[in-house]
Structure 1
Amino acid sequence: MKTLSILILFSLIASITHAIELDFCVGDVSLPRGPAGYACKDPAKVTTDDFVYTGFRGEKPTTNIFKNHLTLAFSNAYPALNGLGLSLARLDFAVGGVIPVHSHRTSEVLILAQGSIIAGFIDTNNTAYYKKLEVGDVMIFPEAMLHFQINVGKTPALAFVALNSANPALQITSSSLFAGNLPSELAQQMTLLSSREVMRMKKMFATS
């Protein structure tokens, strides 16, 4: 027990030391990303602009097959997030637009800024938790859960999300099945869809 206490104490000291070792670590995206993120940009070359992200400005096109537009402010696009354990995204929906079922390595919190959407997630017991959100509403999606958003209003919708990782990843289930190199035969077996439907989906995603 004494040994365990000492190990815990050293771990806490190490984490505190690491936390105050640097004020920030703006990522140098010209170098490969490692398991802990990007290497730090030379502090002498860091400016105020490194801490400002302007990618959420302006209108966004919503002309893809899902009638949405995702603007991702992950560490590769917003290097100041490197090492801070958070990232952001803007979600634009045309009328009838959806963010299809997807997952991240992290939890996510959403705030609706415009319109009306149904948002929800599905847990590992296949229970769906979903609700119609109005402007100003906030919803949390637990780590790794499959989740989605659908514009159910008569006008475009806009939401912003924050995730607790600088690189949370984004895996859209339908894209993973039909937009990649997974053979049609395997997709058919796993989804119980007909061969014709699998080919239709693959063709749809290939041209999107």
Structure 2
Amino acid sequence: MKAKILSCTILWATFFFLASASDPSLLQDFCIAVNDLNVTEFINGKFCKDSKLATGDDFFFTGLNVPRNTSNAFGSTATIVSVDIFPALNTLGISFARIDFAPNGLNPPHMHPRASEVFIVLEGTLYGGFVTSNPDNRLIAKILHPGDVFVFPAGLIHFQLNVGNTNAVVYAAFGSQNPGRTDIPKALFGSTPPMFTGVLTKAFQVDTNIINDLQAPYRMDNSFEVYKNIINDLQAPFKMDNYD
């Protein structure tokens, strides 16, 4: 009997944990976020507009048809429309984005800690994929064409590279009103303040000069072309059983 009670307790705790690990469940029709301290309803860290005053304009967003500027080091621009930009998304558990790619443009390895992503190609040809978690760290990737859809699971590192000769455009949808984004290169090599070099040299099994080169683009307005000369050195320890 005690074992049965314990099993039920663990089961309910698991359900509670899973429910708490995503956006809160919707307990009303909607909560349009407003910056008004006089209102009394407060959900997901946002004050709610009086639902009786809601209009169609509150649920309307425009501008995703406008191409973004991709003149940057990576040749891509991701425009995420989260609750902070579109207040009607509050409590709905969704958000979306437009990603623009120049030829050879890269949406660098990154992850969304709070949401899975559905990726829909509108224009261009992209190589996209993600890496599974430990212990296998398996790369799952595919060439994507207009009309193709790919899914990136929550919390996994993923990327997209424009492998065509023209610009590429993608729409993406997320299973959270605020999916978040962590760019892996910037997080490791461009943190503020900079991460202790000893941590990075030990983690990547390379010398200090390579780490300094990787951090350099974030200390000045430089191109990520600098990585091409050292990426083989970073990959080498994982291609040979020569590290502790």
Report if the CA contact (8 A) 2:25-2:91 is conserved: no
1:86 is the counterpart of 2:75: no
Superposed CA deviations along residues 137-186 of structure 1, whole A, max 9, x for unmatched, are 00111121111111000001011110100011001100101221233413
Q: Per-residue deviation at 1:21?
A: 4.8
Report if the CA contact (8 A) 1:184-1:199 is conserved: no
Q: Pick from 48, 57, 64: which aligns with 1:56? A: 64
Q: Per-residue deviation at 1:19?
A: 6.6
Q: Normalising by the residue count of structure 1, what TM-score does the alignment of the two structures yield?
A: 0.83
SS at match of 2:34: coil
Q: 1: distance between equivalents of 2:203 and 2:43? A: 31
Q: Per-residue deviation at 1:66?
A: 0.8
Q: Per-residue deviation at 1:53?
A: 1.6
1:192 is the counterpart of 2:205: yes
Correspondence for 1:39: 47
> Which residue identity is paired with 1:24?
F
CA RMSD of aligned residues (A): 3.0
Higher relative contact order (CA 8 A, sep 6+): 1
Matches of residues 54-203 of structure 1 in structure 2 within 5 Å? 54-105=62-113, 106-124=115-133, 125-181=136-192, 182-185=194-197, 186-203=199-216
Q: Could you say if the C-alpha distance between residues 41 and 193 of structure 1 is closer, same or farther in structure 2, counting changes exceeding 3 Å?
A: farther
Report if the CA contact (8 A) 2:92-2:177 is conserved: yes
Which of structure 1's runs of 4+ aligned residues deviate more than 4 A?
Answer: 18-21
Q: Normalising by the residue count of structure 2, what TM-score does the alignment of the two structures yield?
A: 0.71
Runs of 5+ unmatched residues, structure 2: 222-244
Q: Per-residue deviation at 1:119?
A: 0.8
Superposed CA deviations along residues 15-57 of structure 1, whole A, max 9, x for unmatched, are 9xx97753211112577xx983423123355442221122413
SS at match of 1:50: helix
Q: 2: distance between equivalents of 1:24 and 1:62? A: 35
> Which residue identity is paired with 1:43?
S
> Which residue identity is paired with 2:150?
M
Report if the CA contact (8 A) 1:73-1:88 is conserved: yes
SS at match of 1:88: strand
> Which residue identity is paired with 1:196?
N
Report if the CA contact (8 A) 1:187-1:198 is conserved: yes
Q: Could you say if the C-alpha distance between residues 157 and 42 of structure 1 is closer, same or farther in structure 2, counting changes exceeding 3 Å?
A: same
Larger C-alpha radius of gyration, 1 or 2? 2
Q: 2: distance between equivalents of 1:67 and 1:100? A: 10
Q: 2: distance between equivalents of 1:41 and 1:179? A: 39
Correspondence for 1:28: 34
Q: 2: distance between equivalents of 1:170 and 1:205? A: 18
Q: Per-residue deviation at 1:193?
A: 3.9
Q: Could you say if the C-alpha distance between residues 20 and 126 of structure 1 is closer, same or farther in structure 2, counting changes exceeding 3 Å?
A: closer
> Which residue identity is paired with 2:189?
F
Q: 1: distance between equivalents of 2:69 and 2:201? A: 32
Runs of 5+ unmatched residues, structure 1: none
